[in-house]
């Protein structure tokens, strides 16, 4: 590491004027303070700022490139500092230890100004204060953009984690959160609420006869048919395997029966073309139940599932309504 002679200013007037931090700043008003500063040449990977060390100083990059890393010296890359940029000013302003590592990403030349000298320069030059304010506002804006971008990606990840990748319907993870919310809303306002359990009849035969890719096509087609048959307020979910569930807010058993029949009929008449070119038809069985005051998400789905079992026991391609523990009604 090379240090220049401290008896003369480290920066010429021309070099001084090229630095954005000193834009509109009088060279004569600052040059005396710069006598207390040094220019260092550092090799690649040299650590200029380390949070474990309490030393506070302003570093202005004259040549090369610096990296700002968080968590550790080899941690997450937070930013790159290009020529003319600076680092270390925040710990001078708030008198706290640095919060990130600043490392030379290649051989670099830097101007190092002690903390006390930096503060003295700020007291002397109004324009230098404005330049620092401009710099900090840019960094806040950049940080806000990073935060917004991260939040967007987090929301995307959360959304995709709640979507079944094959059918595009929501999955069981989404079910638990949203069905619980809808059930509480229904109970609080004493609104009607029905639940469906739907199963593709003889689905195993499709897989055994045509292969699992054909089975995937059938699942996607049934999911599409389900979406086309439901209202915008209804909440379809791929429950697992060839089973689907739906919560139907504000729905009586009479309307639920009409919607269930629409699903059953639409699936039955749908022509499904498999990857082999073969055309197949499938059917579904539907069980449904209406919310009672004591119901949880699990108990309501369980009632609909019991009705589904009865529909499948009675030749499938049918609808069955749960009435009570010992009674169901077939349509």
d(CA 215, CA 195): 25
d(CA 245, CA 287): 10
d(CA 266, CA 225): 7
Pick the catalytic residue from 89, 182, 242, 290: 242
Q: Give the CA dihedral 47, 52, 57, 59, nearest 10 degrees.
A: 30
43 is an active site residue: no
| Cα–chain center distance at 142 | 19
Task: Answer whether 280's CB lies under 8 Å from 274's CB.
Answer: yes
Residue 189, both tokens:
């306002």
d(CA 218, CA 213): 9
Q: What sign does the CA torsion over 301, 303, 307, 310 have?
A: positive
d(CA 314, CA 289): 18
Task: Answer whether 166's CB lies under 8 Å from 219's CB.
Answer: yes
Distances (CA, A) of 132 to 58, 81, 82, 90, 196: 12, 15, 16, 10, 62
Catalytic residue positions, numbered: 242
């Amino acid at each position: 590491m090379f240090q220049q002679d401290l008896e003369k200013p480290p920066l010429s007037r021309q070099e001084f004027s090229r630095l954005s931090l000193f834009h509109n700043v009088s060279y004569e008003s600052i040059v005396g303070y710069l006598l207390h500063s040094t220019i260092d040449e550092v090799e690649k990977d040299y650590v200029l700022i380390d949070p474990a060390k309490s030393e506070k100083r302003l570093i202005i990059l004259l040549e090369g490139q610096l990296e700002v890393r968080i968590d550790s010296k080899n941690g997450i890359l937070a930013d790159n500092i290009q020529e003319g940029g600076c680092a270390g000013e925040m710990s001078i302003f708030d008198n706290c230890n640095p919060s990130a590592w600043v490392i030379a990403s290649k051989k670099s030349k830097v101007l190092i100004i002690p903390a006390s000298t930096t503060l003295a320069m700020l007291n002397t030059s109004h324009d230098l204060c404005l330049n620092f304010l401009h710099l900090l506002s840019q960094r806040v804006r950049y940080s806000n953009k990073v935060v917004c971008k991260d939040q967007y990606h987090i929301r995307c990840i959360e959304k995709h984690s709640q979507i079944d990748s094959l059918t595009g319907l929501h999955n069981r993870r989404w079910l638990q959160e949203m069905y619980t919310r809808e059930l509480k809303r229904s109970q609080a306002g004493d609104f009607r609420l029905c639940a469906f359990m739907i199963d593709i009849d003889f689905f195993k035969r499709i897989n055994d006869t045509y292969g699992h890719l054909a089975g995937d096509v059938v699942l996607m087609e049934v999911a599409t048919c389900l979406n086309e048959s439901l209202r915008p307020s209804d909440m379809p979910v791929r429950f697992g395997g060839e089973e689907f569930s739906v919560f139907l807010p504000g729905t009586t058993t009479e309307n639920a029966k009409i919607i269930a029949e629409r699903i059953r009929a639409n699936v039955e008449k749908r022509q499904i073309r498999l990857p082999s070119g073969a055309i197949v038809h499938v059917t579904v069985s539907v069980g449904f139940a209406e919310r009672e005051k004591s119901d949880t998400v699990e108990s309501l789905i369980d009632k609909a599932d019991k009705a589904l079992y009865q529909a499948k026991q009675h030749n499938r391609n049918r609808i069955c309504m749960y009435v009570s523990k010992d009674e169901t009604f077939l349509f």
